Each structure stands twice: as structure tokens, then as C-alpha cells.
Chain A
């Protein structure tokens, strides 16, 4: 007997992500799912973004990156609520892992929740956690061929942060090619060229993010 199913294998995760989303909406929390390869600069960007936006927004962080167990301590040092997810060696964060740790936050006292995903360019893009937007980082030492090799994350992200621009001259990263390929994959991608080290370019990212957040808060007064 043939049974037609046409079921997305990620449905169960998507349902949990939608439940998370409903809770974030109710509590008016803007959520970023931040993704990249290991070492591209996720924790650095989180630190810089906290510095840039903390005067206006109450920020909290979920740490899922297992590359460096000091990430959560780096954030805690800034006096920001942070919870480390124990992914048990998993290569991504999923909706359920986020749901389980949410009771540890006072969501009513958070405007912006940044989720630092596990360092991996492949599967974090497949697993929604209830975020408003996915943001990805590509750092110049990784090479300009990454959009072509891992198109899924570029397709799903709202913003691409090209980090370590201070190293570009040393690593022969072709910025035009990286941008062109990224836009073939996703025409709506907002692209920022930054250095978390020198802080160049970060102001444009902050401005874009403030606009997105203000849109969200305006729709849920």
C-alpha cells in the first residue's frame, strides 16, 4: 500500500519554534539567531553589539557555541544575562533546546535576545528556534567561496556580516565576488563589512538592527 505523505522532516522542530515565537511576541522580545563557522567572530560581534545597543535596549544572550566554553563568561563579564545551552555535542541549536532554557530568563525584562549558534555553516540554518531574523557572519580568512559552497545559510539569513575586514588584504579575500554570489543566492540580504577588532563598519550594522527592532516593537505596542 502506498501512502502519500509529503511531510517536512523539520515540522516538529518548526512547531516548537512557532511556540517559542508566540511567547517572544507576547513578551515583546526581538530574537536573533546568529550563525557562522567556528572562530568567525560570533562572540566578538555579540560583545560589540551589546556595547553599541545597551543604552537603548535590554539585552540577553543564549550561548550555544561549544568551541569555546569561555563564551558565556565573556558575556557575563559585561553584566548581561546569559545562559549556556548544553548541546551535548550537537552541531546546531534547535527549538527544543531554546524552549527548555527560556524559564531561566525574565523575558518581560528583555528587548533583544541574541542566540549564538554552534560554529557550523551547515545545519544551524535548517533549525529554527523562534527567531525574528537569522544573521550570519563570514570572516575574510574563511575565503570568498563560502556562499557558493554553503548557499543554504546565505539564503535564510536577513543579514550577512563580513567580519575581519582588517585582515582582508592578507588573506586574498575577493569581497566583490563574495557579495555578488551572496546576492545571487538571496537578493534581500543586507550586507555589512565590519571589523570587530577595529570596530570599522559596526555603526551601520547597529543602525540597521535598531530599525528592524523598532519596526517590531511598533507592530506590538
Chain B
């Protein structure tokens, strides 16, 4: 559901850029978010396809950079990328003294390819 309000905000941001940078068509948009942020790629794509109709981004390709879950392990003293969702142990040393260090990043517009 929140995908609808996020895509609405995205369209507003693109239109503001279009006014400033004087472009009239968007070929593609690159977005990013963390895989633990509870955003759903399919819902974003669907919301985009519906809401972009008759705007300057209609038909633009969406490109996603999905950032992995990461923990900091106090035993390894290192930031470690997790293969999946949040784990209870450090995948390297099985240590439990860990803290989430990435994966909940909010939705960002990284770049656009425009005409």
C-alpha cells in the first residue's frame, strides 16, 4: 500500500527535476532500497505502471539496486554481508555479538536517463 504514496512522491521529484533541467522524457530511473526495508519490488513496479500514465515518465524502465542485509560482528570486527534475511549469528564465526548495520535503507532515486 505505501508503494502508492512513494511512487507519487517519486513522480513529484522527477517533475521538479524536469522543470529545472529542462527535459521532457525519461528513459529510465534507477532506484535503490534495502532488502529489509519491507518494500516490495513488484508492488513498486505495479504502482509505477499505473501512476506514471500520461506523465513524462510514462514507459520509463525501472532499474533497482537492492542493498543486502549486513551485520557488524564484534568478534570479527568487520561488516559482513548476509546472504539472506537477518541472521542470529555471524555467518563467519557463529558469534552472537552482532548488530544490524545495513539493509533497511529507504527508497532513493539514484539517477535518471533523460532526453
Task: Please judge, given known A-B contacts A151-B36, A151-B100, whether A91 and B2 are in contact too, CB under 8 Å.
Answer: yes
Check if B37 sits within 8 Å of A5, measured CB to CB: no
In the assembled complex, the Cα of A11 lies from the Cα of B71 at a distance in Å of 26
In the assembled complex, the Cα of A148 lies from the Cα of B71 at a distance in Å of 13
Interface majority SS (helix, strand, loop, mixed), chain B: mixed
Check if A5 sits within 8 Å of B17, measured CB to CB: yes
Chain B residues with CB under 8 A of A12: 9, 12-13
Which residues of chain B in 68-115 are interfacial with respect to chain A, using CB atoms and an 8 Å cutoff? 71, 85-86, 88, 96, 98-100, 103-104, 106-115
User: Interface residue tally of chain B, by bracket?
Assistant: 35 or more
Stretch from A48-56, A161-169, A180-188, A209-217 forming part of the interface with B: A180-188
Interface string of B23-62 (1 = CB under 8 A from A): 1000000010000111000000000000000000000000
> Can you list 24 pairs linking A and B with CB atoms under 8 Å apart?
A3-B17, A3-B111, A3-B113, A5-B109, A6-B111, A7-B13, A9-B6, A9-B9, A9-B31, A9-B106, A9-B109, A10-B9, A90-B5, A91-B1, A122-B2, A127-B2, A148-B85, A151-B100, A151-B104, A152-B37, A184-B100, A185-B86, A185-B100, A187-B99
Taking Cβ atoms with an 8 Å cutoff, the residues of A that contact B are: 1-13, 90-92, 94, 122-123, 126-127, 147-148, 150-152, 155, 180-181, 184-187
